[in-house]
Structure 1
Amino acid sequence: MVFEYFQSTWNNLNELVKFSKFKNHVNQRDSIVLLLIMLINLVNLSSSKHLLVSNINSNNQGRPEFIQSVPNLSIITGKDAIMRCSVKNLGKNIISWHHLESNSDLTINKQILSSNPRIKIRQEKDDWLLIISNVSLEDRGFYICRINWLEPKSQLGYLNVVEPPRIDESSFTSGSEKTVRENSNLTLTCRASGNPSPTIEWRREDGRAIHQSSPSSGLYPESSGVPKIIGDELSFNPITRWNMGSYLCIASNSIPPSVSRRIMIYVQFAPVIRIPSVSVTGTKGANVTLQCSSESSPIADHIWLDQNDSLLGSSLSPQSTPTIRSKYVIQLIKTYHFKVTYQLTIIDLDYNDTGRYICFVNNTLGLARSSIFLQVKDYQKPVDSNSISAEDSDESESVRVDLNSSRQSTTESTNHNNNNNRIASDIRFATYPDDTYNQPNKDSASSMGQSMFLISILLLTIRLNC
């Protein structure tokens, strides 16, 4: 300040000297003017010195300080983020916000410097709030709250922007459906974006296991395969009919919600027929159902023919329920993606229905046929073994009682006259020839012999009484 005072006075004196030379004289009035200028400069010097000391003392008593650090935030895309910077004793000093990743100044005090319309600033007492509306992944990074003072101070806070998974629709080059021939190779692709990076998981919609290699023929191999496949791609090398079905591509990254897409795979192949039984027996007057199970894709047309190759029914015009006049009822039952059971029901069987029935199937890739032989027989009433045993038991008991009674009478008669033994013996041998008597195991001979023996005993009794 002293230097400025002398410099100002010197300048004023030079001006005065120049003016005096121009007038060719220096009078008393000019001297007075010079003294007044010097006095004014001294007064200004004193005032400036006082203000400088006052400001320094004021700053030493309450310099600006951060109350707390800037907190880190984690915000889902589309939400609003609020970065908080708390400062005390800010006074007339400057506070500003700066984005480190983009190296851009966002605000100074309440003035917005950024051209981003989503950036706003708000003061709440000691808090300076940087508001970012509808945050996106570009808003991620460090934000610096800075105080411009004799000694600049700053605080850093990190804004993490997370995003739920989003499936890239362009990765579905084949669309939501894919049709391939059996034993060819197929690879499905599904990609997704998000923060954190999402994980792709493949599953079957029906909950069955996934088979990436060819399973054994026959029934579905429930014991093999895996429940899910992790990765962007799902490959079948080669693909079989058992791989047919709908698959789900599920993307997740711990930020809800998870998203999924559905892909349907159709595997085409020529028809194959599987007959449960090639020979069936039916009863006259009853109904019988013949079954023809087939595998085909696309689903084949099914036809039933009789032994004369006459058309009995077709899957193109199936009958759902029988009527009074109908002789044949056709039903088509789909049991799996490529499996069909084709039934032929014959009503009120007759002997003329005996013969061979042909199941014929065909699609765009081929055809197949198989036959079932039907034999119609009479109804046979089942034999009740319990009733037969009871009748035989009663008859045997009756014969046993009669024989005992007859033998008792014979014993009493012979006690009265011993000579009657010879007569009874002669009657017995005369009554039973050798060939009949020696075959007691035959039922008819045994019954006849017992009857003749009783007659002989009766005659002997009458003769004795006489």
Structure 2
Amino acid sequence: MRNFMPVLVGLSCLHGLLIAAITRVAGSLEPKFNTTAERVVVTEGSRAILPCSMEDLGEQKVIWVNPRKILISYLDRRTIDDHRISVERPYKREWNLLIREVRYNDSGTYECRINTTPKQVKKVTLAVQVPPMILSELSSDRVSLEEGETATLICNVTGIPKPNVTWYKRNSRKIDGKKERIGTEGEVLVIHNVSRMCDDIYECYVDNGVPPAVSKAIRVTVDYAPEVELPNKRIGQSATKETILDCIISANPQAVTEWRRDGKALHKSDKYDIDVFRDEYENSVTLSLRIKNLAKEDYGRYLCMGSNHLGEDQEEMTLYEIFTTTTTTTTTTTTPISTLNTRNPEYRYESDGQVPNNQDPSSPSRNHDYDGGRNGAVGPYAQSSKGDNSGWRPGTSHDANGQPVAGKAEDPYREEKRTQLPTPFKGNDNTWSVSNPNPDYPINGVHPVFTFSTLAYVIITSVVASLHFYV
């Protein structure tokens, strides 16, 4: 063992020398440092991590400097009184700067430095975006003006990047209520020569790509004088009944409204009822006047009035009386004795040398046919001298055009001659003996169907109908 002792001592000294040499070499190595500039974008209120990493730092020191060139950290220790800032080292080679609850004034270029000669620097730029915001105290809230004036709406906003401002009209008075875009983009909206149609809620919508977007409602009120409208300027009603007079009054602000009669305002009473129906969407009211138990003195002119601080308006309505007339109608029903023919019947007149009352004397005096029809038309009649009974009768052997009917023989006991008689045929006394009479062929202005029994039936039927009507 004594022979090996000098060897062991020599090896131990050699190891110490090697370690010292390695340490000196390591201390003389240059740190490896990524100096490429970087940009970090965050939203205000969030966290920002600014990267800085290196290798072979050795005895060198790392520091962070803010955009105002103030030292904020030395190695891993904070050198300023801001609890939001710290140096984070998840790995040995990393020296990241962490900023919590970032503010807009934290924006700028930060430097991560190593105190070498010359010094090495890595620059990291922090960009802080700010969501849009409307400054209500510097913006319009409610704008009131009169028709014809100019409205100026202001929506004062901030945000990074600069926000865009878009204007909308909500159309709250329309049934569908859909808003529409109006004007151009910008913080100011100007409406020239406003009318009552401009009375609405307007909205400025602000967005810059950084959520959330914001908006603000601005109420625009347009004042105007009353306008009175009558659905009807004349209305009628019968006495003892009631009626309602309506008028519509549009105004802003709402007008003082009333109905007047003979210069005096009408109020609720036993005679009158007055109701008011408001339409907030149209800035109008319907003033309804109910007049009960109409009398003669209630008919005439009524005045509907409306007024506000900008003026007044009025319209006149006339109430007139309606008179009712009772009309009595009598219905007479006639029932013929025999069945009427739908076609013109053929009648035969039997008489020796007797001519109808209206027969032309120049016509033959015997054996004549009369072609008389319904309502003045012409139909065939035959006249014969044979037989004991004289008169006109329906023919059996000829049709309506005077042509023989096939299969029907002439009456062997009568000599017939057909001829044309003038119309209308009024007949004579002999015509009362007509068999199967037709009421379209009157006798002396009287239909042959009106025998005594028929006449009595007609009279009785008329009396019963009249009694039924009055009952």
> Residues 62-461 of structure 1 correspond to what in structure 2 (within 5 A)?
63-66=30-33, 72-99=39-66, 101-126=67-92, 127-150=94-117, 152-172=119-139, 176-206=141-171, 227-282=182-237, 288-306=243-261, 308-313=262-267, 327-347=272-292, 353-377=298-322, 398-399=335-336, 404=341, 417=387, 420-421=390-391, 425-427=427-429, 449-450=446-447, 454=451
SS at match of 2:287: strand
**Compared with structure 1, are the counterparts of its residues 418 and 142 closer, same or farther at alpha carbon in structure 2 (3 Å cutoff)?**
farther
**Compared with structure 1, are the counterparts of its residues 302 and 169 closer, same or farther at alpha carbon in structure 2 (3 Å cutoff)?**
same
The CA deviation string for residues 41-79 of structure 1, in whole angstroms up to 9 with x for no partner, is: xxxxxxxx999965541146x643247967633222222
Q: Is the 8 A contact 1:350 1:376 kept in 2?
A: no
Q: Residue type matched to 2:249 in 1?
A: S
Q: Is the 8 A contact 2:250 2:282 kept in 1?
A: no
Q: Is the 8 A contact 1:245 1:337 kept in 2?
A: no
Q: How far apart are the structure 2 equivalents of 1:382 and 1:93?
A: 125
**Compared with structure 1, are the counterparts of its residues 204 and 286 closer, same or farther at alpha carbon in structure 2 (3 Å cutoff)?**
farther
SS at match of 2:50: strand
**Compared with structure 1, are the counterparts of its residues 208 and 108 closer, same or farther at alpha carbon in structure 2 (3 Å cutoff)?**
farther
Q: Is the 8 A contact 1:312 1:328 kept in 2?
A: no
**Compared with structure 1, are the counterparts of its residues 348 and 309 closer, same or farther at alpha carbon in structure 2 (3 Å cutoff)?**
same
Q: Is the 8 A contact 1:70 1:85 kept in 2?
A: no
Worse overlay, 113-122 or 345-354: 345-354
Residue number in structure 2 paired with 1:463:
none
**Compared with structure 1, are the counterparts of its residues 418 and 239 closer, same or farther at alpha carbon in structure 2 (3 Å cutoff)?**
same
Q: Residue type matched to 1:303 in 2?
A: E
**RMSD, matched Cα:** 4.6
SS at match of 1:124: coil
Q: How far apart are the structure 2 equivalents of 1:305 and 1:194?
A: 60
Q: How far apart are the structure 2 equivalents of 1:129 and 1:456?
A: 132
Q: Is the 8 A contact 1:142 1:157 kept in 2?
A: yes
SS at match of 1:131: strand
SS at match of 1:85: coil
Q: Is the 8 A contact 2:299 2:319 kept in 1?
A: yes
SS at match of 1:254: coil
Question: Structure 1 stretches of 5 or more lacking a match?
Answer: 1-48, 210-219, 314-318, 431-439, 459-466
Deviation at 1:184, TM superposition (A): 2.1
| TM-score relative to the length of structure 2 | 0.63
Q: How far apart are the structure 1 equivalents of 2:259 and 2:52?
A: 85
SS at match of 1:450: coil
Q: Residue type matched to 1:73 in 2?
A: V
Deviation at 1:228, TM superposition (A): 5.0
Deviation at 1:192, TM superposition (A): 0.6
Q: Residue type matched to 2:89 in 1?
A: Q
Deviation at 1:339, TM superposition (A): 3.0
Deviation at 1:162, TM superposition (A): 1.0
Worse overlay, 346-355 or 49-58: 49-58
**What is the total number of aligned residue pairs between the two structures?**
361
**Compared with structure 1, are the counterparts of its residues 65 and 451 closer, same or farther at alpha carbon in structure 2 (3 Å cutoff)?**
farther
**Compared with structure 1, are the counterparts of its residues 291 and 382 closer, same or farther at alpha carbon in structure 2 (3 Å cutoff)?**
farther
Q: How far apart are the structure 2 equivalents of 1:250 and 1:227?
A: 12
Q: How far apart are the structure 1 equivalents of 2:127 and 2:454?
A: 125
Deviation at 1:379, TM superposition (A): 6.4
Residue number in structure 2 paired with 1:7:
none
SS at match of 1:138: helix
| TM-score relative to the length of structure 1 | 0.63
Q: Is the 8 A contact 2:35 2:123 kept in 1?
A: no
Q: How far apart are the structure 1 equivalents of 2:281 and 2:63?
A: 69
Q: How far apart are the structure 2 equivalents of 1:427 and 1:451?
A: 10
Higher helix content, 1 or 2 = 1
**Compared with structure 1, are the counterparts of its residues 381 and 330 closer, same or farther at alpha carbon in structure 2 (3 Å cutoff)?**
farther
Deviation at 1:91, TM superposition (A): 3.2
**Compared with structure 1, are the counterparts of its residues 381 and 289 closer, same or farther at alpha carbon in structure 2 (3 Å cutoff)?**
farther
The CA deviation string for residues 77-121 of structure 1, in whole angstroms up to 9 with x for no partner, is: 22232223222332332112122x323332121232335443222
Q: How far apart are the structure 1 equivalents of 2:135 and 2:327?
A: 72
